Amino acid sequence: MSQEFSKGKGSFGAIMTFCLLIILYQGKQIRNKREYDYIKSGPGVSEVRMLSDYFEGLRDTPMDTRVYILRGREKGGNSLILGGTHGNEISGIVSAMYMVENIEVEKGTLFIIPRINESAASAVQVFSGDADYLFLGNDRKVRMGARRSNLTEHWPQKNSYNLRENIYLREDEARNLNRVYPGKRSGNLTEKLAFGVAELVRREYIDMTFDLHEGRPRFEGLNAAIVSRNSMDIALETALELEFEEINLRVEESGPGLYGLIHNELPKVSNTKAVLLETVNTAQGSMTGKVNNNLYLTGEDPIYAKLKDMGITSKVYKPYTLNERIARHVTSVEFFLRVLGSFNDRDEVVLRGVPSFEYIRDTDINKLF
Ligand SMILES: [Zn+2]
């Protein structure tokens, strides 16, 4: 009897040890995903600040993030680039990283935040099959995060999200940075983050704010810019100039019903113009098969390809490589800034060292980083 009891105790101990090991392993994984991505400050970077330097409420929180400042020698305008509003939309993050590491500014100042939502970077996109990291073919890796901020930092979640007065959104939109603008000084962490962005925009007199996104293949022409009303003339001119280079960019005007979105809300609380840029990421698709690093890099998915052959997804599916998506974001920002400067000299930001669309598209990704 006593022998059986001690045998039971032994297996209980083994199970507990096993559980403890799993907890320790998982804990390490979670801690790793809270570490900032490696980003090298390129020759154009004059200073690196924290977003909490603009809004103290973010200090020592999981939301604080690095702001890279690229100042030109000549006085000009100020623009801001955000990557990683949605942590699983990788082209925006790597495009912002690429600009920090490679471009210089001749006139004006460029503020770049490659990973605006650090909390979303530490989370996992539910049902996506996403890996923890995107590998760029060398020793560089970038965290694959989730669309929304980490639930563990926003617990408990209420039944609905009250943006303001009588505007209510779905409960999990309280963790979606692009639904909580213009943010709240004493709101949840995601609302504080949006408030921090608005503070930076106001204090640095940002003329144009870019928010880099991507989405699943769902309709023709997702390669798009959704822009605030005060940017429409600049956006249409930019699209026309891109068209001359055979780069299509669909322009859409933001509307009053787009509650909490950056292009609708930020211009109401500051003097900025706001531009949200989208590329197409097959890995985010609802019909995508196995998700792996190759899919992140090539955009090629056998199930979408088969459905396209059958005529089912022929209007929506075209594989876009990560290179091409980076080329689209970088070139679009460059063209927007050029047109912005041509409209008003005081807003001008002149970039130097921006490679051509074709160079970024056609160079091995491990050579870009
Ligand atoms: Zn997005």
**253 and 288 belong to one structural domain:** yes
**CB proximity list for 147: less than 8 A, separation 6 or greater:** 86, 87, 88, 89, 120, 125, 176
Q: Which residue has the higher pLDDT, 240 or 19?
A: 240
Helix axes 90-102, 322-343, angle to 10 degrees: 60
Rounded distance, CA 36 to CA 29, Å? 13
Q: How far is the CA of 180 from the centre of ligand 1 (A)?
A: 13
**167 and 57 belong to one structural domain:** yes
Q: Provide the domain limits for residue 21.
A: 1-33
For 72-100, give one letter per residue: b (16+ CB within 10 A) or e: beeebbbbbbbbbbbbbbbbbbbbbbbbb
Position 286 scores a pLDDT of 87
pLDDT at 164 over 90: yes
pLDDT at 296 over 60: yes
**CB proximity list for 258: less than 8 A, separation 6 or greater:** 264
pLDDT in tens, 272-295: 999 999 999 999 998 899 999 999
Average pLDDT over residues 298-309: 94
**128 and 223 belong to one structural domain:** yes
pLDDT at 353 over 70: yes
Q: How far is the CA of 214 from the centre of ligand 1 (A)?
A: 6
Q: How far is the CA of 89 from the centre of ligand 1 (A)?
A: 6
Residue 122 banded pLDDT, cuts 50, 70, 90: very high
Position 367 scores a pLDDT of 95
What value, to the nearest 5°, has the Cα angle with vertex 48 and ends 266 and 63? 55
CATH number at residue 85: 3.40.630
Q: How far is the CA of 239 from the centre of ligand 1 (A)?
A: 20
Do residues 186 and 128 touch, judged by C-beta distance below 8 A?
no
Average pLDDT over residues 18-44: 88
- Looking at the 3D structure of the chain, how many domains does it have? 2
**15 and 135 belong to one structural domain:** no
How far, in Å, are 64, 147, 160, 167, 345 from residue 181 at the CA level? Answer: 17, 16, 16, 13, 29
Q: Which residue has the higher pLDDT, 11 or 7?
A: 11
**23 and 116 belong to one structural domain:** no
Residue 315 banded pLDDT, cuts 50, 70, 90: confident
**105 and 228 belong to one structural domain:** yes
Q: How far is the CA of 167 from the centre of ligand 1 (A)?
A: 21
Residue 305 banded pLDDT, cuts 50, 70, 90: very high
Q: How far is the CA of 124 from the centre of ligand 1 (A)?
A: 15
Q: How far is the CA of 274 from the centre of ligand 1 (A)?
A: 14
